[in-house]
Structure 1
Amino acid sequence: MREIYYEPKADEKHLLIHPETGRKDQSNTGLFERGILCAHCDNILGRFEDFAFQMLKRLRAVRIGRKIGTNSYINEGTYPFSVAMADEFVRFACGVLWKYSSVPPDEPFHIDIGECRLLFENICFHGAVIPEGVDVFIERDLFSFAAFSDPAQVYYYCSPSIGRRGNQTSHNLSWFSVGGFTIYVKLNQPGISDFAPEECWMRGRQNCFFNVDTRSIEANSGVLDSIRRTRDDLAKLNKGIQAK
Structure 2
Amino acid sequence: MANEVASKTGEKHIIAYSASDKFRRTNTGLYDSDILCGSCDNHLGKNENYVIETMRKVRAQFPKHGTLAKSPIDDGNVFVRFAAGIAWKYSVAKPGFGRINVGPYGDILANVAFSDEAIPDSIDLAMIYMQAGVDEVFFYRTPLPDRQSGVNLIRFSVGSFLYLLKVDKRPNPPDPPSQVWLRNKSAVVFPVLPAHEFEEWTKPFGIRGRPQVRSYFDRFQK
Counterpart residue number, 1:200: 180
- Please state whether the residue corresponding to 1:163 is helix, strand or coil: strand
Is the alpha carbon distance of 1:213 and 1:17 closer, same or farther for their aligned partners in structure 2, counting shifts above 3 Å?
same
2:119 to 102, 123, 130: 130
Please give the secondary structure, in 2, of the residue aligned with 1:37: coil
Aligned partner of residue 139 in structure 2, secondary structure:
strand
- 8 Å contact from structure 1 (residues 78, 212) kept in 2: yes
CA pair 33-204 structure 1, distance change in 2 beyond 3 A: same
Query: Structure 2 counterpart of 1:223, which letter?
Result: P
2:108 equivalent to 1:119:
yes
Q: Is residue 227 from structure 1 mapped to residue 208 from structure 2 by the alignment?
A: yes
Higher normalized helix content (fraction of residues): 2
The runs of 4+ residues in structure 1 deviating greater than 6 Å are none
In structure 2, relative to structure 1, the CA distance for the partners of 1:216 and 1:203 (3 Å cut) is farther
Contact 2:130 2:195 (8 Å CA) reproduced:
no
Match of 2:192 in 1: 212
CA 1:233 to 1:46, structure 2 compared with 1: closer, same or farther past 3 Å? farther
Which segment drifts farther, 79-88 or 227-236? Answer: 227-236
Q: Sequence identity, in percent?
A: 26
In structure 2, distance between residues paired with 1:5 and 1:83: 19
* TM-fit CA distance, 1:76: 2.2
**TM-score normalized by the length of structure 2:** 0.84
Aligned residues: 219
Change (3 A) 1:81 1:52: closer
- Separation (CA, whole Å) in 2 of partners of 1:235 and 1:215: 24
Counterpart of 1:164 in structure 2 is 147
Instruction: Tell me which residue corresponds to 1:56.
Output: 55
| Secondary structure, aligned partner of 2:140 | strand
Are residue 178 (structure 1) and residue 168 (structure 2) matched? no
**Whole-angstrom distance in 2 between the partners of 1:5 and 1:225:** 22
* CA drift at 1:109: 2.0
Structure whose residues are more often strand by fraction: 1
Shift of 1:93: 0.3
Residue 82 (structure 2) pairs with residue 102 (structure 1): no
Give, in angstroms, the shift of residue 214 of structure 1. Answer: 4.1
Structure 1, residues 185-218: CA drift from partner, whole Å, max 9, x if none?
0104243321111111111222121113447633
Query: Bigger CA drift: 212-221 or 119-128?
Result: 212-221
In the alignment, what sits opposite 1:14? 13
> CA contact under 8 A between 2:5 and 2:158: conserved in structure 1?
no
Q: Deviations over 1:2-52 (max 9, x none)?
A: x79864276564321123222222222211012111111111122221111
- Aligned with 1:76 (options 63, 66, 71): 66
Structure 1 residues 235 and 37, CA, compared in 2 at 3 Å: closer, same or farther? farther
CA distance in 2, matches of 1:10, 1:42: 25
Structure 1 unmatched runs, 5+: 66-74
SS at match of 1:148: coil
Q: Distance in 1 between the 2:203 and 2:3 partners?
A: 12
> Structure 2: 5+ residue runs without aligned partners?
none
